[in-house]
Structure 1
Amino acid sequence: MSTLNLGILAHVDAGKTSLTERLLFAAGVIDEVGRVDDGSTQTDSLALERQRGITIKSAVVSFVLDDVTVNLIDTPGHPDFIAEVERVLCALDGAVLVISAVEGVQAQTRVLMRTLQRLRIPTLIFVNKIDRDGARYEGVLKDIAAKLTPSIIAMGSADDLGTRSGRFTAYGSTDPVFTAGLVELLADHDDAFLAAYVADESAVSYSHLRRELAAQTSRCVVHPVYFGSAITGAGMDPLISGLTELLPASDGGADGPASGTVFKVERGPAGEKIAYVRMFAGTLRTRDRLHFGDDRKGKVTRISVFEHGAATSRSSVAAGQIAKLWGLAEVRIGDDVGSSSAASDPTSKATSEPTPEATETAVGRRSANGGGYFSPPTLESVVSASRPADKGVLHAALTELAEQDPLINLRQDDIRQEIHVSLYGEVQKEVIQATLAGDYGVDVTFRETTTICIERPVGTGAAAEFMGQETNPFRATVGLRVEPAPVGTGVEFRLGIELGSLPFSFLRAVEETVRETLLQGIHGWQVTDCTVTITHSGYTPPPPYGWSKASSSAGDFRRLTPLVLMSALQQAGTQVFEPMHHFRLEFPADALGSILPNLARMRAAPHSPSTRGSASVLEGEIPAAQVHELQQRLPALTRGEGVLECAFDRYEPVRGPVPARPRTDHNPLNRKEYLQNIGR
């Protein structure tokens, strides 16, 4: 039986979780459709999710449709939890992008669709809530074509929109307008199909059209659109047929070397790590020893495979499946895993590294945007334990949460005894606060949220420190050159010395320290989009019979590198950039006069407004630091009728005074202070 690993993605409140419930009901996994408002859904299992009526953590459920095992992953829609969506993408064979028939394409919808297209994940579009008052058909289709992609085809007609009797009727071979539109769409993306159709129209049957539609959907060049209602069940049968017919199921190779990707990590009741793994090739068995990440190892002690609604204990997991693995204490999200030995089965095939073919999809998707698909958090706040005695527990709890969410960055300020947490928004802050109280028994307070800026070099700088110089107390020679790099490339470390002239452990110490030091630039912000080249090196080798106190050590290179790097960076100079969000604001037309002055005060750059009847729409850019204030002031400015959508757009140079962030390291910008703190 083939397997389809399916993601359900949407802007918040479009109805993802309700659609998941309806699909489970249609497959016979549940006897009654749960409701988000009642807190009775299968995938929103956290108390916070049931309380708030939103998805916070991704959840996996499994069911069978027409001889295809579907592993369905319900993801959060709220932008504060976009990191949960990011880590799921490498596990998917296909996706359903859910759009509300009332609200249409929203800010998060655009972000998600761009990402799905960039990663070439086959995607069906489901327009939900046709039973809601204000539901649209033609208007939403135009919205999708204009804002998401013109390569769409409506798979049926919708009638009685805005009523409980709203329905969706699938098109078939007897609908000439549909078949003509399908031919035109498919011909636009395949010259061979166009040539065959031009040569002999009668030779291209309706079944041929459907096969070509499936092929082009699998190649992510076209996107079929379905309408329906997850609440009433309208349109479910056509959508289910589309899932099995148009999205590519995975058969995998169960006999090859085992390889997979970890897309989620959680903690069990006893605090043990549980890794969610999508298998791309081979078979993993209990007691198999795995290699994962940067040469970490572990032995699988237990396996649960998702099938027929829930995770079921099994002795193995094969290609195409999703499983929960126990026993991998050092595993992290994003790790590629591969079987290194199978202690329980000496006849099983094994390898020390995953094969390139097996991990191509996952690795390719992860590297499509420098290791991330969405923007990083742009906000941060200091979190403190309400009771001083809970400081240690708080640090351990936050470390554990950051382990489960790689985009929760923690900055420990030992000088001020503070912990900084990076955030996507205020809702995420509230959820972290509630999680710490409910799961760890730690009451915390947050300071006011501040914006995370970045630094980029504006020129080239170089510096070097040589062994034997009076000013260099370390047994190491390090020379570094810092240069600007294209936006979005991150930090690249290059060799400007002869390969082999420096022991690998020393070279690795330099590179790791370069990346760590660049977390705090001249103004205290993380430095990115630069190339750092090691230009000079030197060390004292150990005597023939082993290491001595006069020998160089990796520690010498780790201590010296920050001084050299920051000296080169000061010579290059940096510019501070702040995050900007694109906003779309819908409001009563007569409120424009009060909105514009407020936007100007918040340093927003609005475009020309458009008016539709009594409503106006205004789009533009606003600093991330001002988004929360705009959200708070909007109800008063628009009599409670304003609707705001915001999403990260880009970084812009800071205008006016340059903001600085207090340092949390030993400050290599001040040589005397640094050496006093570091010592030899």
Structure 2
Amino acid sequence: MPVTTRVSTTDRTSHPTLNLGILAHVDAGKTSLTERLLHDAGVTDEIGSVDDGSTQTDSLALERRRGITIKSAVVSFALDGTTVNLIDTPGHPDFIAEVERVLSVLDGAVLVVSAVEGVQAQTRILMRTLRRLRIPTLIFVNKIDRAGARCDRVLGALAGKLTSAVVPMGQVREAGTRRAEAVPYSAEDPEFTANLAELLAESDDELLAAYVDAADGEMPLSYERLSAELAAQSRRALVHPVYFGSAITGAGVAALTAGIRELLPAPEGDPDAPVSGTVFKVERGPAGEKIAYARLFSGTVAVRDVLPFGPAGETSERADASGGAEGPQRAEDPARAESKVTAISVFEQGGEERLTAVSAGRIGKLWGLGGIRVGDAIGVPRAGVADRHFAPPTLETVVVPRRPADRSALHVALSQLAEQDPLIDLRQDDVRGEVSVSLYGEVQKEVIQATLAEEFGVDVTFRETTTICIERPAGRGSAYEKDLDPFLGTVGLRIDPAPVGAGIGFRLEVELGSMPYAFFKAVEETVTETLREGIHGWQVTDCTVTMTHSGYWPRQSHSHAVFDKSMSSTAGDFRNLTPLVVMSALEEAGTTVYEPMHRFRVEAPADTFGPLMSALSRLGAVPHTQELHTAVCLLEGDIAAARVHALEQQLPGLTRGEGVLESAYDHYAPVRGRPPSRPRTDLDPLNRKEYLLRVARRV
């Protein structure tokens, strides 16, 4: 994106800031809407085209070439005294992680829906999440000028598939033609005001009483009161106004802009409060320096401030891969790191402006935070913020350099990509010299391949994509080791199943003072690390690990000599001994392998019901709902994530190209039959003899 950079010395925070997300299913037209909003605000002279690769927010060469948004992008414009930071997000489900990170910094959102395709799979996922997080959301039904636009049907789908709390703010004339226009409703439209009053009364008892009185012939509700209540409930995410229009022709966009101004909140944080913010994007500058995009909820950050950051509740003693002066120092809180801010810029009227400080409410680009990661809290972490809104990746693949000499460069490149997208979750196999990454889909694999080639000069191929399973303990198991040669220490552990979603918990049944805290910490950290690969090689989760025995050799030395390791325990003893105890306890408990399951919905011609059911049966799908109408059939149920791609490929042939499939991750289910295994990347503590030899060689 061509950026105009201006230099200023102060943060002009006298005006409110609205951080607005544009979200949609792929190809609904959200990037085109972003271009229209920027043009109408006077930021750009011409409207960029996705097809021509001339948009403001799709700045990557790969985005312009493919015509899709891959990375979230921020661009700013002024709206009647309010600074709007517009965040354009990817629509393709393979890049849902980008949307995940943006949700935590939004004040409001516009959900774009195509008037032609209507409500799609990603639309439902996004709206469900927006409502759960109570993010104020307007809905824009785009492409009313396209052939096949069905505005009434889409409005019904919004109410039926997304939420009943939708209210149309206008009607469409000549839909499906280039002459299509959106005509806003007004106070003179009795049907509109009646529907509006009925919807708003559902969430306000006082308004409900006034509505009943008006229905009995008493004082009618004024349009001014309805408008004020609509704004109040929209800002509380109780109702969702629906606007119709076309980002290409500009029809209806003025009404949407008015809705953004009047119905979405622009909260003003306290610039004098302690600093609190969230990093939702990390990129590298021309010199390889890290640049963090951070939303400030309170406080003020200035150049040369030493800023604490890191995930709340975790140890973040992390060294930057590039090393040097930008690496983090230790903060007073051992769970956080800190670095000095060296430069700041904010988004201003389509460009960037260098400032010496950025205050609450704004989005700033911060330089100097070398150890920063996506999702980190800066300053004081916010309480009660959900870590994850969408399902984690369910696929993985091994990345193989075409030239063996590029192995080292590949690892560095993938490490930098993991800074920008932690969910790709690098998995290094030192035994085989391989690196695997987690994925949401095949398109993401193509993007990683192109990025590695274009930005890092590393040409790669991929192994076959496989499904990521998990393991859960099947019962209770315990194990105990005392002074196992060559380890000077005692570790006893018990593993118990925990409720689904509990993760891994660690508890003590021994006295905390029975050995130095550093040794307990070494055991706890090693337990978590060891459980990344269970009996079958998958991550073990939803369990409680209890330390039942502990013991150590106090620090000793020979007379008139220095410290003697052969007579004293170290943290290394516990880090090397714990994996053996963990895996012994896990073997006694046993584990069950679970695979990710998708909830699917298929809409197809009624006469294809039989072949479709047969195909679903062959793929192991379990239909829960079957509806057979005159013209169409609807099927909903569960299918293993590993078989979704096969269903996508077979559906056109089964339904004459008329079938529509929606699917999204729903839950994990036990694998039927022989459980799949994944090659281990650790020192294999399941093989006691080999493990001890490998540890001895490492030491």
CA contact (8 A) 1:56 1:81 kept: yes
1:36 aligns with 50
Whether the aligned pair in 2 keeps the contact of 1:101 and 1:140 (CA below 8 Å) is: yes
Amino acid at match of 2:647: L
Residue aligning to 1:445: 461
Could you tell me which residue of structure 1 aligns to residue 363 of structure 2? Answer: 322
Alignment partner, residue 84 of structure 1 = 98
Using the TM superposition, give the Cα deviation of residue 324 of structure 1 relative to its aligned residue in structure 2, in angstroms: 0.9
Give the corresponding residue for 1:554: 571
Residue pair 1:90, 1:261 contacting (<8 A) in 2 also:
yes
Match of 1:494? 507
* 1:299 and 2:340 aligned: yes
What corresponds to 1:251 in structure 2? Answer: 268
Residues 613 and 12 of structure 1, relative CA distance in 2, 3 Å threshold? farther
Go from structure 1 to structure 2 and tell me whether the alpha carbon gap of 1:475 and 1:203 turns closer, same or farther (over 3 Å shift). farther
Q: Distance in 2 between matches of 1:105 and 1:446?
A: 34
Partner of 2:688: 671
Q: 1:73 and 2:87 equivalent?
A: yes
Amino acid at match of 1:480: L
Match of 1:386 in 2: 402
Contact 2:198 2:211 in 1 (8 A): no
Q: 1:506 aligns with which of 519, 525, 539?
A: 519
2:356 aligned with 1:310: no
Q: How does 1:208-357 map to 2 (within 5 A)?
A: 208-293=225-310, 294=316, 295-338=336-379, 354=380
Q: CA deviation at 1:500?
A: 4.1
For each residue in 1:253-310, what CA deviation from the matched residue of structure 2 results, as whole angstroms up to 9, or x when unmatched?
Answer: 1122222111110111121111000011111111111111132111111111011112
Q: CA deviation at 1:491?
A: 1.7
Write the mapping of 1:124-163 to structure 2, written as runs, cut at 5 A. Answer: 124-163=138-177
Q: Render the CA deviation track for 1:480-510: whole Å, top value 9, x for unaligned.
A: 2222222122222233333444433222222
CA distance in 2, matches of 1:639, 1:491: 48
The aligned residue for residue 12 of structure 1 is 26
Distance, in Å, in 2 between the alignment partners of 1:499 and 1:223 is: 53
Matched residue of 2:422: which SS?
Answer: coil
Question: How far did 1:610 drift?
Answer: 4.3
- Matched residue type, 2:499: P
Gaps of 5+ in 2: 1-14, 311-315, 317-335
Residue by residue, what CA displacement relative to the aligned partner does 1:34-81 show, whole Å, maximum 9, x if unpaired? 121111111111111111111100000100111111101111111111
Mean alpha-carbon deviation: is it higher for 612-621 or for 127-136?
612-621
CA distance in 2 between partners of 1:207 and 1:493 (Å)? 57
Q: Supply the AA of the counterpart residue of 1:271.
A: G
Q: 1:473 to 1:199 in 2, by over 3 A?
A: farther
User: Which residue of structure 1 lines up, in the alignment, with residue 389 of structure 2?
Assistant: 373
**Residue number in structure 1 paired with 2:591:** 574
- Give deviations 1:347-367, integer Å, cap 9, x for gaps: xxxxxxx2x6xx24xxx33x2
Where does structure 1 differ by over 6 angstroms across 4 or more consecutive aligned residues?
Answer: none
Question: Within 1, Cα distance between the matches of 2:346 and 2:19?
Answer: 13
1:555, 1:204 → 2: CA distance? 74
Distance 1:555 1:440 in 2: 36
Q: Which amino acid aligns with 2:343?
A: R
Matched, 1:538 2:551: yes
Seen in structure 2, the aligned counterparts of structure 1 residues 116 and 546 have a Cα distance that, compared at 3 Å, is farther
Instruction: Please give the secondary structure, in 1, of the residue aligned with 2:20.
Output: strand
SS of aligned partner of 2:104 = helix
The residue correspondences of 1:648-663 to structure 2 (distance < 5 A) are: 648-663=665-680
1-side partners of 2:482 and 2:220: how far apart? Answer: 77
Q: Which of 632, 640, 649 is equivalent to 1:623? A: 640
CA–CA distance in 1 between the matches of 2:165 and 2:268? Answer: 28
Specify whether residues 537 and 433 from structure 1 end up closer, same or farther in structure 2 by C-alpha distance, changes over 3 A only: same
Question: SS where residue 269 of structure 2 aligns?
Answer: coil
Correspondence for 1:424: 440
Counterpart secondary structure, 1:189: coil
Instruction: State the Cα distance separating 1:595 from its structure 2 match.
Output: 3.5
- 2:114: which partner in 1? 100
Mean Cα deviation higher: 485-494 or 593-602? 593-602
Q: Distance in 2 between matches of 1:616 and 1:426?
A: 29
Distance in 1, Cα, partners of 2:153 & 2:624: 23
- Secondary structure of the residue aligned to 2:202 is helix
Identical aligned pairs, as a percentage? Answer: 66
Cα gap change, 1:323 to 1:536, in 2 (>3 Å): same
Residue 291 of structure 1: SS of its match in structure 2?
Answer: strand
What is the letter of the counterpart of residue 312 of structure 1?
A: E
Contact preservation (8 Å) 1:128, 1:229:
yes
* Rounded Cα–Cα distance in structure 1 between residues aligned with 2:507 and 2:251: 57
| Other-structure match for 2:487 | 474
Which deviations, in whole Å up to 9, do the C-alpha atoms of 1:412-434 show, x marking residues without a partner? Answer: 11111111111111111111111
Distance in 1 (CA, whole Å) between partners of 2:657 and 2:53 is: 27
- Aligned equivalents of 2:423 and 2:213: distance in 1? 54
Equivalent-residue separation in structure 1 for 2:229 and 2:521 (angstroms): 50
Paired letter, 2:355: R
What do the CA deviations read for 1:538-586 (whole angstroms, capped 9, x no partner)? Answer: 2233359996423322212211211111122222221111111122334
Q: Is the Cα contact below 8 Å between 1:311 and 1:323 reproduced in 2? A: no
Deviations 1:608-629 (A, max 9, x none): 5545665544333221111222
Distance 1:481 1:215, change over 3 A: farther
Question: What CA distance in whole angstroms lies between the structure 1 residues aligned with 2:540 and 2:89?
Answer: 31
Aligned residue pair count: 652
Q: Which moved more, 1:618-627 or 1:198-207?
A: 198-207
Is residue 466–residue 472 contact of structure 1 (8 Å, CA) maintained in 2? no
Q: Give the letter for the 2:370 counterpart.
A: A
* Structure 2 equivalent of residue 166 of structure 1: 180
Is the partner of 1:91 in helix, strand or coil?
A: coil
For 2:87, give the aligned amino acid: I
Give distance in 1, aligned partners of 2:472 and 2:571.
Answer: 28
Following the alignment from structure 2 to structure 1, what is the Cα–Cα distance between the partners of residues 563 and 193?
78
What SS does structure 2 have at the residue aligned with 1:96?
strand
Q: TM-score, normalised by structure 2?
A: 0.89
Take 2:548 and 2:210, find their aligned partners in 1: how far apart are those partners? 60
Partners in 1 of 2:573 and 2:398 — Cα distance? 33
> Is residue 134 of structure 2 the alignment partner of residue 120 of structure 1?
yes
2:67: which partner in 1? 53
Secondary structure in 2 aligned to 1:115? helix
Query: Would you say 1:408 and 2:424 are equivalent positions?
Result: yes
